[in-house]
Structure 1
Amino acid sequence: MTTTGSAATLDLSDIAGFWTRSIEERHAAFNELRESAELPFFSPPVVEHMEPGRDYYALTKLDDIVTASRTPAIYNSEPNATGPNETPVELNEFFGSMINMDDPRHARLRRIVSRGFTPKMLDALSDNVSRIATEIVDDILERGEADAVTDIAAKLPLTIICDMMGIPESQHKFVFDHTNVILGAQDPEYVADGNFFGALLQSGMELAQLVRELGAQRAKNPTGDLTSALLNAEVDGESLTPEELASFFILLVVAGNETTRNAISWGIQLLTENPDQRALWLADLDKRTPGAVEEIVRWASPVIYMRRNLAEPAVLSGQRLDAGDKVLMFYWAGNRDPRHFEAPERFDILRSPNPHIGFGGPGPHFCLGAHLARREIKVMFRELLTRIPDIHATAPPRRLQSMFINGIKELPVAFTAGGAR
């Protein structure tokens, strides 16, 4: 089933169709869906080994998404918050972290892992973030060209998170490749044989094994890394089990890498397309960087949607929803809602107010790593705009085929070799 009315030809579950359209076409399509008389309604995509379950409603208005996010007692994350299909039990061991939980289980886990994300601990990362950003630019400075994704955007969050957890540098590429598969499994380039289920299971198992081995080492010889902190963190006498630690690591490394990586990649593309905004930013880096970071996250919306499951009947946009119904909260669409954003298709680093939901809607599931992600994006762009301010894309981005992640796989860039003269 697809939605009815004037938008009847649209199908948000058509991964190889709708989600390969241009950004402009997507924007126009969501504008149409947002003005539908009823909430748009779709069947989940056909995925081998995954039951479709019920059809889902697409939430495209910012107000509806905020309402669902703020009322988790009605709009549950269990049993699945990350896909329109039903998650097989085999995958829950690796992908069943707190993102797919409701209180009290969610609150318990979040209280424990939050011990590793206090402002004090994140502030201690500042020097590390700056150092890595400097090294990234050092590595490409004399070349005059690079790939913005693999050479710049992916390196910063990957290195930060692996260093936080105590993952040795020799394993960084292993982690990078497996996170690509997990969030790129809808893209034939990452799963060439089309075995979506098998690819997810294999990557989840191998990442979980990596962190279990690391956890066993830290249990015997704790250090100052996040793995040691999480193993020893207790709330009301409870700590993380080895399985919970492995599942949280997968969530952390996947979500933390992908969101920041794609925000930085899209930011470079946006500055290429909008030289006036680049000039505006360069005219006052200190004052305009915070707003520019928020606008990049809004415009890019790296996580396109999250799912919620109705625990009881509710009314949204005047429409009755029943217990058991599914809704997909399309952050990408909410961040372009003209009721809240003037000229939402425009990239405007001075946009104010900017009530975007690029890190999720308000409520208990707001992104735990938002503070770190903002800092990484801020530091990376300060480094780029200070040392190679003319960095620009030389070809269109090669985009990820996915309805979940607004990703870029490749973005060739050029700049003055040796940096600003």
Structure 2
Amino acid sequence: MDLFTTAHPFTTGVDISSDEFWSKPFDERDKAFARLRAEAPVSWHPPVSYPAPHGEQGFWAVTRAADITTVSMDSETFQSRNGFTLDPIGASAAGGSFFLAMDPPEHSRYRSLVSAAFTPKQIKKIDDRIAANAHLIVDDLIGAGEVDFVEACSSRLPMETVSDIVGVPASERKRVAQAAENLFGAGEAHRMAPEEAVNLKMEEAIYLYSLAKDLAAHRRANPADDLLTNLVQAEIDGHGLTDDDIGAFMLLMATAGNDTTKQTTSHTMLSLAAHPEQRDWLMKDFDGRIMGAIEEFVRHATPVMTFTRTASRDVELNGAQIAAGDKVAMFYCSGNRDESVFDNAAAFDLSRPRFPRHVAFGGGGTHFCLGNGVAKVQLRSIIGELLRRLPDITFGTPVAMKSNFVNGIESLPAHVG
């Protein structure tokens, strides 16, 4: 069957828009993406299901790694200011997304301000805290018996890291973790009716935003030797971050900076359990092999599956005629299984060459993941602690999260002796 009709052609026989499609397992969904990669690498689809009225007509699906990189690198043509999610909520969600929904030069200025706060001294402090927190998390797991691995392990380190970065006091950390789960993870909102979930997520976003804004105001008045002080004092060309900016940054960190590392941890431990030969290979020279292995952890898990842009002008992409104003969706979950780039792309192979690069941190360009370094330190620390100290941990059947954005595991039964 021909995948196209005429003009703004909707695909036929390839469903990547329905709730039913996003309820399927990752490997089953990739069969649809594999067909698109082969027959229609850039194709038009109806909008995904959404519980509120909207005016979106559809989106272009970009499914090959090379085209994802093209879109990522051209921020002038493919812009972020109108939203970055597959859901048809557009710019209405931009307020809490900080520089994810900005374009250069504004994006470049804010990104530089945040980067300037991460001095070598502060990075060393963060790395040390990550290692210490990972050790404590595994301390709590030893002898725990039956646990939900997501709750007892995977979800803990990312939120401790975010809280350390933004200076969240101990009294608020449990509440911050709960809010982050409801926003992006498998918290209470995930089990609500869509309309109720939207309202709860808005309340949680306001809480995180307000907390960080208050913390920033306190640090302006009471500076200390910490990263939050660096953030509120950072200045480039006379511009600095406002307290509102810090609030938005917290919201970004608590969502994107949390769930990505959490999901990669869960997926990686499942993959290592299913492929003991890969685990054995890694443990023969953990320190020498772990950083390359992390690239495969992230590629194979692809914790963030999609990001979108909006075309600022008429443009051709791999034969598709994209009009100004059209939504363009980059499917990282497809690009990381691109047969033309990765040999045996579905395989979990820790010795896989680091080049060509995966697109799990984005396809390059101005929006390449700012937190990728912190994510790698977290993965090195927690996976190392788990493999060295809990070699006999076993897992049950994971419960997958239904999402068109995060490749999520809602819960994962585990037995720890």
Give the match's secondary structure for 2:341. coil
Q: Pick from 340, 363, 369 the counterpart of residue 361 of structure 1.
A: 363
The answer to whether the 8 A contact 1:271-1:392 is kept is: no
Cα pair distance change 1:193/1:314, threshold 3 Å: closer
> Judging changes above 3 Å, is the alpha-carbon distance between structure 1 residues 263 and 38 closer, same or farther for their aligned structure 2 residues?
closer
Tell me how far 1:56 sits from its aligned partner. Answer: 0.3
Residue aligning to 1:93:
95
In the superposition, relative to structure 1, how do residues 235 and 191 fare at CA in structure 2: closer, same or farther (>3 Å)?
Answer: farther
2:383 and 2:99 mapped to 1: Cα distance? 31
The answer to whether residue 64 in structure 2 is matched with residue 61 in structure 1 is yes
TM-score, with length taken from structure 1 = 0.92
Partner of 1:11: 15
After superposition, the Cα gap between the structure-2 partners of 1:265 and 1:113, relative to the gap in structure 1 and judged at 3 Å, is same
Percent of paired sites with the same residue: 34
- Quote how far apart the aligned CAs of 1:120 are: 4.5
- Aligned partners of 1:84 and 1:307 also within 8 Å: no
Q: CA deviation at 1:24?
A: 2.0
User: For the structure 1 residues 185 and 139, does the alpha-carbon distance in structure 2 shift closer, same or farther, using more than 3 Å as the test?
Assistant: closer
**1:33 corresponds to which residue?**
36
1:108 aligns with 2:109: yes
> 1:311 deviation in Å?
0.8
Distance in 2, matches of 1:118 and 1:329, equals 32
The amino acid of 2:378's aligned partner reads E
Contact 1:75 1:311 in 2 (8 A): yes
Question: Alpha-carbon deviation of 1:28?
Answer: 1.3
**What does residue range 210-289 of structure 1 map to in structure 2 within 5 Å?**
210-289=211-290
Q: Distance in 1 between matches of 2:191 and 2:225?
A: 35
Q: 1:43 aligns with which of 32, 40, 46?
A: 46
**How far apart are the structure 2 equivalents of 1:22 and 1:48?**
23
Aligned to 1:386: 388
Q: Deviations along 1:176-206, whole A, 9 cap, x unmatched?
A: 2222222248997343454343233222111
Partner of 1:318: 319
**Superposition deviation, residue 266 in structure 1:** 0.5
Describe the superposition over 1:36-87 as per-residue Cα deviations: whole angstroms up to 9, x where unpaired: 2462221222423452423101111000000001111111111111234133
Q: Secondary structure at the match of 1:307?
A: strand
CA distance in 1, matches of 2:127, 2:283: 22
What are the Cα deviations for residues 188-225 of structure 1, in whole angstroms up to 9, with x where unaligned? 73434543432332221111111122122222212233
Where 2:76 maps in the other structure, the secondary structure is coil
Return the alpha-carbon distance in structure 2 between the equivalents of residues 201 and 92 of structure 1. Answer: 13
**Pair 1:130–1:228, CA change in 2 (3 A):** same
Query: Residue 71 of structure 1 corresponds to which residue in structure 2?
Result: 74
Could you tell me how far apart the structure 2 residues matched to 1:156 and 1:67 are? 34
Q: TM-score, normalised by structure 2?
A: 0.93
Find the counterpart in structure 2 of residue 408 from structure 1.
409
Alignment of 1:277-316 (within 5 A): 277-316=278-317
What secondary structure is seen at the aligned counterpart in 2 of 1:189?
helix
What CA distance in whole angstroms lies between the structure 1 residues aligned with 2:196 and 2:166?
30
Q: Distance in 1 between matches of 2:194 and 2:45?
A: 26
Structure 1 unaligned regions, length at least 5:
none
Asked if 2 retains the 8 angstrom alpha-carbon contact of 1:59 and 1:65, the reply is yes
Alignment of 1:108-187 (within 5 A): 108-184=109-185
**1:348 to partner: Cα distance:** 0.4
CA contact (8 A) 1:77 1:99 kept: yes
* Contact map agreement 1:44 1:52 (CA 8 A) in 2: no
Are the equivalent residues in 1 in contact too, given 2:134–2:382 (CA < 8 A)? yes
Q: Does 1:371 align with 2:364?
A: no
Matched letter for residue 203 of structure 2: Q
How far did residue 380 of structure 1 move?
0.9
Mapping 1:173-212, distance limit 5 Å:
173-184=174-185, 189-192=190-193, 194-212=195-213
Contact 2:292 2:351 (8 Å CA) reproduced: yes
- Quick one: distance in 2 between partners of 1:185 and 1:153? 12
Unpaired segments ≥5 residues, structure 2: none
Question: Retained in 2: the 8 A contact 1:117–1:369?
Answer: no
Q: Confirm or deny: 8 A CA contact 1:305 1:329 kept in the other structure.
A: yes
The alignment of Structure 1 onto Structure 2 pairs a total of residues equal to: 410
Q: 2: distance between equivalents of 1:261 and 1:254?
A: 11
The Cα offsets for residues 332-367 of structure 1, whole Å up to 9 and x where unpaired, read as: 100000000001111000001441111111101001
Once the two structures are overlaid, the 10-residue window that deviates more, 231-240 or 176-185, is 176-185
Paired residues of 1:47 and 1:196 also in contact (CA < 8 A): no
The one-character-per-residue Cα deviations of 1:278-330 (angstroms, maximum 9, x if unpaired) are: 22222221222112211110010000010011111221112221111111100
Q: CA RMSD in A?
A: 2.1
Q: 1:228 to 1:349 in 2, by over 3 A?
A: same
Alpha carbons of structure 1 residues 254 and 204: separation in structure 2 relative to 1, 3 Å: same
